[in-house]
Amino acid sequence: MRDGSGKIMNESAAPLSSQAGSLLLLTGIFFLNFISRIILAPLMSTIEKDLGIGHGEAGSLFLLISLGYFATLMGSGFLSSRLTHRKTIIFSSMALGAALGAVSLGHTMWGIRIGLILLGMAAGLYLPSGISTLTSLVSPRDWGKAIAIHELAPNLSFVVAPLLSEALLRWFSWRYILALLGITSVSVGLAFARFGKGGEFPGESPRPATLRILLAEPSFWIMVALFTLGIGGSLGIYTMLPLYLVTERGIVRSWANYLVAISRISSLGMLFLAGIATDRLGPKGALRGVLLATGLITLLLGVVPGSWIVLIVFLQPMIAVCFFSPGFAALSRIGAPGVRNISVSFTIPAAFLLGGGAIPVGIGVLGEAGSFDLGVSMVGGMIMGGFILLRYLKFPDE
């Protein structure tokens, strides 16, 4: 078996059932990796009161996580090429636990900011090594099922984060919740080191010649912009939605968190419908519909009267999550075959930095200026504008 660079791996792929334990451990690590990056969203109204910060500074906390995530996700190949994927996964899990502990103990804004950057950096190391390890464990005919199980982690995180926060805030402060996640991350990392299999081979670091080819491709930059809008419509809105519902719409914090959690359950099924639409309409056709619909419903999130807000909160994530199936299908067709894996590695970090970092900051700044609803609606308008970019998106086989 070979990895993405063509190197022969020393590990033998096996049937999915025989690797269930290792797969579940990897999925658990990914779940903690993702929920640690979004847990601040349902806790934010409490954090604002405790730290005495405004909406703009609250939004900037997500930007700090995204900055750290951006830096190490792009450079993760340099570490895994020296440590092996297995050791990188273990190190990421341990470092994530330490970073969560540091944030929970921070009593100055600078200490918390540094801790959040380190949290993002620790989280960014996981994904490339996790996917490489997963695909080395199971037979290629089972890759789809294995990746589908692994990808349940981020979608479940969207549901669990508000429910977990609301349950634990009854007895603990937000600091104890972060500390508990940190202890769990370290424990699962140790469990993988003891019982998990796979990843006993080095990664590949990006090569300058390959990067030059990719960066000269206009469609690559268009996909960065489209993924920024896609992530902004999903993760960017999610991170600020509980705070928006509490401070702008006057909804009680507990009800806002329950509402956000329940609204994300339907997105699990919509992923499969989006895949079917992509196969029938093609990536561009599906993206046109998704961008227009997501943009419109996000715009409405900021302008509908109070009696309609619950319906819009449910509809928005259902449509926003549909971006990723056609988005990844389009991204996989960018550039020559030899640079397509690198295009994924560089598109996602940049889009997370902008869509998951800069967009929440912008919403928070406008919210602090008394225009929270305008910030949300502007994101909707930007997403609708992505429809225009599709006219200039070209695939090599067209």
**Alpha carbons 121 and 114: distance in angstroms, whole number:** 11
Instruction: Give the per-residue pLDDT at 396.
Output: 65
Instruction: Give the per-residue pLDDT at 229.
Output: 94
Instruction: Give the per-residue pLDDT at 294.
Output: 93
Instruction: Give the per-residue pLDDT at 186.
Output: 95
**Alpha carbons 359 and 232: distance in angstroms, whole number:** 6
Instruction: Give the per-residue pLDDT at 274.
Output: 75
According to DSSP, residue 249 is labeled S
Fold of 206-398: Growth Hormone; Chain: A; (1.20.1250)
pLDDT in tens, the chain (398 residues): 444 433 434 445 565 556 677 888 998 999 999 999 989 988 888 888 888 888 778 878 888 998 898 888 777 777 877 888 889 999 999 999 999 999 999 888 899 999 999 999 999 888 878 877 877 787 766 665 676 677 778 888 888 888 899 889 889 899 999 999 999 999 999 999 988 887 777 766 667 776 777 777 788 899 899 999 999 998 888 888 888 888 888 888 888 888 888 888 877 777 667 777 777 888 888 899 999 999 999 999 988 887 788 899 899 988 988 887 788 777 767 765 545 556 667 788 888 888 888 888 888 888 888 888 898 999 999 999 998 998 888 776 65
89, 199 contact by CB (below 8 A): yes
**Alpha carbons 187 and 94: distance in angstroms, whole number:** 8
3-state DSSP assignment of residue 91: helix
Domain ranges of the chain: 17-204, 206-398
3-state DSSP assignment of residue 138: strand
Instruction: Give the per-residue pLDDT at 77.
Output: 74
Instruction: Give the per-residue pLDDT at 6.
Output: 39
3-state DSSP assignment of residue 8: strand
3-state DSSP assignment of residue 305: coil
Instruction: Give the per-residue pLDDT at 9.
Output: 45
Instruction: Give the per-residue pLDDT at 97.
Output: 95
216, 317 contact by CB (below 8 A): no
Q: Residue 32 CA to chain centroid, in angstroms?
A: 12
CATH H-level, domain 17-204: superfamily:
MFS general substrate transporter like domains (1.20.1250.20)
Residue with tokens 């730290």: 51
**Alpha carbons 358 and 192: distance in angstroms, whole number:** 34
383, 259 contact by CB (below 8 A): no
**Alpha carbons 327 and 320: distance in angstroms, whole number:** 12
Q: Please list, in sequence order, all residues whose beta carbon lies within 8 angstroms of the beta carbon of residue 66, skipping any fewer than 6 positions away.
A: 120, 352, 353, 356, 357, 358
Sign of CA dihedral 27, 33, 34, 36: positive
